[in-house]
Structure 1
Amino acid sequence: MAQQHLDPTDPRSGHVGPPGPTGEALAGHLRSQATEFLRALRRYRDPGGTAAGATAAGAQDPVDAARALRRSVRRISACLHTFRPLLDPDWSESLRPELAWLSGTLGMEHAYESRLERLLLALHRLSGAVFPAQPTGAAVGTAAPPAALPAPDRGTLTVGAAKAGALLDRRLTLARTRAHTTALQALGSSRFHAVADSIAVLASEVPLTRTAVTTDLHPLATAAQERLEAAVTALPLITAGSPYNAEALVHGLSPDPSSPHPQDAPWHQVRLLLRLHRYAREVLDGHNPTVEVRLLTAGQALDRHRDAAEAAADAAAAARTPRIAPATAYALGVLHADQRHEVEAARFAFQQCWQKQTVGT
């Protein structure tokens, strides 16, 4: 009988295939992200070289630098979460909440700016009313008017839309100004300096465990993917089977208008888990990251979902302002319903994207 030769990469052969990335790759990724953080921090503190001589392009540099700070902070935090068994536990557990605080603080100003732009564009789309130009923010990603809604009374809506837009402008501009002040105070605080010092040390020295340098990263990255897939499986994707699902909207409305929408939390959790999965893939891929169109498209749909849900909540909050005119309240109610339909459209887009088996690069 001829001797059977097993594939050396087959687990049954008893041989180990090509070695996968280990803790050394994780350390290199963390050092790279720490270096990016320090680079962005220098740009933020010294835009255009001097404060007096900053050009128009330099004036935008602090905004870009703040976004770069958040990008690196999110990736460092994701590594501390996904690859926690390979890192010094005391160090990682003390740094993770500080990174979450910093990322959230730096992101609020941009979030309010984008939300205001989204809501004013939606009011214009629904009523035809014209509002003052707002500062340019991120892409809003609004879809077509919801076909499942009855056409609103254009006359009444136009009357209230201008006052509704002015009310939203006052509320969200004030919130954005406060967020800007909070971010400036945070970046000058001792708490931030402690975080920055920890990241500066990380740029040269990563506190790995003793066994990390020989531990394959794939099982931990696979666990992150499995957590994502389990969370997606638990979502009501069948309910999200149409782009503007009026039935899902009606049955999902919260009895308490001041509380979060009851169906949003699982979707927000999937968005977080998808980000952790993407960042884990970046660590595995090293300097040659593979861009999966499916993951990017799914992430964009979940970003739209988050943006529309938060915009709807702001419209509802504005509608509870005491002593506003009925036409203003009506416009805000139509706006709230419109954004909740955008939520359902984003869920449908995610469902369509996630169920596709083909992956592009």
Structure 2
Amino acid sequence: MAQQHHEMTAGETLSVYLQDQATDFLRSLRLHRESSTDAHGAEESLEAARALRRASRRVGATLHTFRPLLDPEWTESLRPELAWLSGTLAREHAYAVRLERLLGALHRLSSPPPPAPSAPLPGPSTPPLRGGHLPPAHPAPGTGRWTGSTPGAPLPAATPDSSTAVGRRSAGRLGSPLVERSRELGEGWAQPPVEGADTAKPRQGALPAQGPAKKPTGPLAIGAAKAAALLERQLTLARTRAHSAALQAFGSSRFHAVADNVAVLASEVPLHATADADLKPLAATAEQHLTEAVTDLPLIRAGHPYNAEALVHGLAADTAPEAQDAPWLKVRSLLRLHRYAQEVLLGETPLDPRILQAGQALDLHREAADAAAAAASAARTPRIAPATAYALGVLHADQRHEVEAARFAFQRAWLREAVTAP
């Protein structure tokens, strides 16, 4: 007798997802405790900490979105603790990524630009003969006079003024680096990623991979070298403090209480009496909050590859984060809530790739904004050389341009999602 397919209720679906995430949390915690002290063990410890942070973030977001279906007292007591743990574990990784990003930008800005392709000089389109000579001259029709050069005459040498003018015309056609960066991030959003595809070659329109990049090498200018040393000293110190804070958190009674609650969650989810309600209205509420937050964004201005909106408050005296970044960071948080709610509903079904692309664009937005803030903070260091301050100012402007490029990429992904949505 064939078994009938049992369709899970809302409470069972929510319980399965939370138990899976709690199991990942406990597995990552065990790997973190069992990692050795050598270089390989340190890498395993960092990977385990990242997995622990991902599980904490998903459990906390699920408790927030579907809290009417769970025990209210237990949910409100665990959710802030998971946010504390996720934020504590994220700082060390954030400082490392920030330093790598800033040092790579300094080397990129210090390297000479690639030579621009020379524009053809005005004149006949006939190619020159072998040896650099012009083709034989011919008499102009109706005049009897010869035009051009004599047979075998060498090409005239280009003057510095003419080559400079040609280079300026070529640079004007090529466009600014921000335009090229924006087009790189924003083009080709229609192609979804393929599961199990070869990732060695980047797909057209895909965002750059977030894996560990190679350490930049090469000489730096005197101001850029001092700026790199200052940033490395400040961010390495901040990363060391974040690492010490993470180690203290792992040994605190607060963390052990969180681990105990997650262990209970892995075996039994404390559901509310109304847990048989539908999950879709709660997920639709999270999507509605995201849509309302996106409506407040200046997507029309972000649709232009270059508008310098991110440099409006570049010389503000306030040392707080950029006020214009707050709406984008809010959308990033709401997009994560929406994505995790879709994971609960869809289960093993892959998510919409455009949601993932929009999330990657906002991740780049936050990284660039934090890197610009770090460059501005380093520029406020007392008694630094003018060349160092100038290099940090150029670095700050470069990262704010990256912020604009990420906004452009998000705008392309989000509007294409809105158009193709049923």
| TM-score interval (norm. to shorter) | 0.7 to 0.9
2:361 aligns with: 301
Structure 2: stretches of 5+ with no match in the other structure: 1-5, 113-175, 181-219
For residues 282 and 194 of structure 1, the distance between their equivalents in structure 2, rounded to whole angstroms, comes to 27
The superposition leaves residues 122-172 of structure 1 with CA deviations (integer Å, 9 ceiling, x where unpaired) of 01111129xxxxxxxxxxxxxx94369xxxxxxxx9221000000000000
Q: How far apart are residue 331 of structure 1 and its match?
A: 0.3
1:282 aligns with: 343
Q: CA RMSD in A?
A: 2.1
Q: Structure 2 length as normaliser, TM-score? A: 0.71
Q: Which has the larger radius of gyration?
A: 2
Q: How far apart are residue 21 of structure 1 and its match?
A: 5.0
For residues 91 and 359 of structure 1, the distance between their equivalents in structure 2, rounded to whole angstroms, comes to 40
Amino acid at match of 2:13: A
Q: 1:70 to 1:44 in 2, by over 3 A?
A: same
Q: Is the contact between residue 242 and residue 345 of structure 1 (CA under 8 Å) also seen in structure 2?
A: no
2:263 aligns with: 200
2:104 aligns with: 121
Q: How far apart are residue 359 of structure 1 and its match?
A: 6.2
Q: Is the contact between residue 311 and residue 400 of structure 2 (CA under 8 Å) also seen in structure 1?
A: no
- Residue 20 (structure 2) pairs with residue 32 (structure 1): yes
Query: Which of 19, 43, 51 is matched with 1:68 structurally?
Result: 51
For residues 82 and 289 of structure 2, the distance between their equivalents in structure 1, rounded to whole angstroms, comes to 22
Q: How far apart are residue 252 of structure 1 and its match?
A: 4.3
- Residue 284 (structure 2) pairs with residue 222 (structure 1): yes
SS in 2 for 1:203: helix
2:236 aligns with: 173
Q: Is the contact between residue 95 and residue 195 of structure 1 (CA under 8 Å) also seen in structure 2?
A: yes
Q: How far apart are residue 289 of structure 1 and its match?
A: 2.6
Q: How far apart are residue 244 of structure 1 and its match?
A: 2.9
2:331 aligns with: 270
- Residue 218 (structure 2) pairs with residue 186 (structure 1): no
Amino acid at match of 1:82: T
For residues 250 and 58 of structure 1, the distance between their equivalents in structure 2, rounded to whole angstroms, comes to 42
For residues 270 and 256 of structure 1, the distance between their equivalents in structure 2, rounded to whole angstroms, comes to 26
For residues 23 and 401 of structure 2, the distance between their equivalents in structure 1, rounded to whole angstroms, comes to 42
Matched pairs, number: 313
Structure 1: stretches of 5+ with no match in the other structure: 1-17, 130-143, 149-156
Q: Is the contact between residue 310 and residue 400 of structure 2 (CA under 8 Å) also seen in structure 1?
A: yes
For residues 236 and 19 of structure 1, the distance between their equivalents in structure 2, rounded to whole angstroms, comes to 43
For residues 74 and 83 of structure 1, the distance between their equivalents in structure 2, rounded to whole angstroms, comes to 14
Amino acid at match of 1:24: E
- Residue 178 (structure 2) pairs with residue 146 (structure 1): yes
Q: Is the contact between residue 127 and residue 161 of structure 1 (CA under 8 Å) also seen in structure 2?
A: yes
The superposition leaves residues 53-89 of structure 1 with CA deviations (integer Å, 9 ceiling, x where unpaired) of x6x5444211111011011101100111000111111
For residues 351 and 277 of structure 2, the distance between their equivalents in structure 1, rounded to whole angstroms, comes to 25
For residues 331 and 111 of structure 1, the distance between their equivalents in structure 2, rounded to whole angstroms, comes to 22
- Residue 320 (structure 2) pairs with residue 259 (structure 1): yes
Amino acid at match of 2:271: L
Q: How far apart are residue 222 of structure 1 and its match?
A: 0.6
For residues 243 and 346 of structure 2, the distance between their equivalents in structure 1, rounded to whole angstroms, comes to 36
Q: Is the contact between residue 243 and residue 346 of structure 1 (CA under 8 Å) also seen in structure 2?
A: no
Amino acid at match of 2:359: G
Q: 1:24 to 1:254 in 2, by over 3 A?
A: farther
2:134 aligns with: none
Q: Is the contact between residue 379 and residue 393 of structure 2 (CA under 8 Å) also seen in structure 1?
A: yes
Q: How far apart are residue 254 of structure 1 and its match?
A: 6.3
1:350 aligns with: 410
Q: How far apart are residue 241 of structure 1 and its match?
A: 1.9
For residues 219 and 147 of structure 1, the distance between their equivalents in structure 2, rounded to whole angstroms, comes to 41
Q: Structure 1 length as normaliser, TM-score? A: 0.83
